[in-house]
């Protein structure tokens, strides 16, 4: 599947502030959440609706709702956890799983150290969240773990993606739809996205 890149003036505006090295921790966190709202909105366009009966102050009527329990959002620790606030603002009852991966700075390969999912994960739509899709290693590994658990419907949300990571993920997991707010130029020789925004985890948690 070709990645879906969001195109909207508000996203461009927020990305410009997010990338700025002078943007402080508080504003950076808020912008991550706000852009995640847009990504979640786009990723949920094909959500199934169930008809229910409600009562307005005027009369009873038919309405449509999403079954929020059908969705699990899985942040890749640690930077992905910075996107959770944006997700639960949109889908308050969504289940949250966690995958802990870190990048070996010498090999650039992902190393897993934590994996915890809700029960019945194989029957749900799972949406992985991670602000940066750089080499693609962590995303690929996370998807592989979920598929081993029987998950068939997986999506991936990223704020900024590198062409190299997108290509690699599409080659390994062509069935996973990727959503991103920006596709940047390339990776540098140490695996960081250019122009990017630096280390998303450090900037979210103030450990720069």
List pLDDT tens digits, range 68-97: 999 999 999 989 999 999 999 999 998 999
Q: Which CATH class is domain 4-205?
A: alpha beta
- Give me the pLDDT at residue 102, please: 74
Rounded Cα gap, residues 182 and 38, in angstroms: 12
Rounded Cα gap, residues 169 and 162, in angstroms: 11
- Among 13-27, 107-121, 124-138, the minimum mean pLDDT is found in 107-121
pLDDT band at 112 (very low <50, low <70, confident <90, very high): confident
Strand 71-77, strand 125-129: pairing:
parallel
Q: Which residue has the higher pLDDT, 109 or 84?
A: 84
* pLDDT above 70 coverage of the chain, percent: 99
CB 158 within 8 A of CB 143: no
Query: Is 199 in the active site?
Result: yes
CB 133 within 8 A of CB 80: no
Query: Is 130 in the active site?
Result: no
Query: Is 184 in the active site?
Result: no
Catalytic residue (one of 46, 56, 59, 107): 107
pLDDT band at 111 (very low <50, low <70, confident <90, very high): confident
Region 107-129: what's the mean pLDDT? 90
pLDDT band at 104 (very low <50, low <70, confident <90, very high): confident
Output the average pLDDT for the chain: 95
Query: Is 207 in the active site?
Result: no
Torsions phi, psi for 148 (to 5 deg): -65, -25
């Amino acid at each position: 599947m070709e990645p879906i890149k969001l195109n909207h003036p508000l996203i461009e505006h927020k990305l410009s502030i997010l990338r700025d090295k002078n943007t402080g921790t508080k504003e950076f966190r808020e912008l991550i959440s706000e852009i995640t709202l847009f990504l979640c909105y786009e990723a949920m366009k094909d959500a199934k609706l169930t008809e229910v009966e409600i009562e307005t102050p005027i009369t009873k009527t038919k309405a449509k709702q999403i079954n929020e329990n059908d969705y699990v959002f899985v942040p890749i620790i640690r930077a992905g956890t910075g996107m959770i606030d944006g997700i639960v603002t949109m889908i308050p009852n969504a289940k949250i799983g966690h995958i802990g991966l870190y990048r070996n700075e010498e090999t650039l390969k992902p190393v897993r150290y934590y994996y915890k999912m809700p029960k019945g994960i194989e029957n749900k739509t799972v949406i992985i969240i991670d602000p940066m899709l750089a080499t693609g290693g962590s995303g690929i590994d996370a998807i592989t773990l979920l598929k081993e658990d029987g998950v068939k419907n997986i999506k991936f949300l990223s704020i900024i993606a590198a062409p190299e990571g997108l290509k690699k993920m599409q080659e390994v997991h062509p069935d996973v739809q990727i959503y991103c707010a920006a596709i940047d130029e390339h990776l540098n020789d140490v695996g960081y996205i250019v122009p990017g925004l630096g280390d998303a985890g450090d900037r979210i948690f103030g450990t720069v």
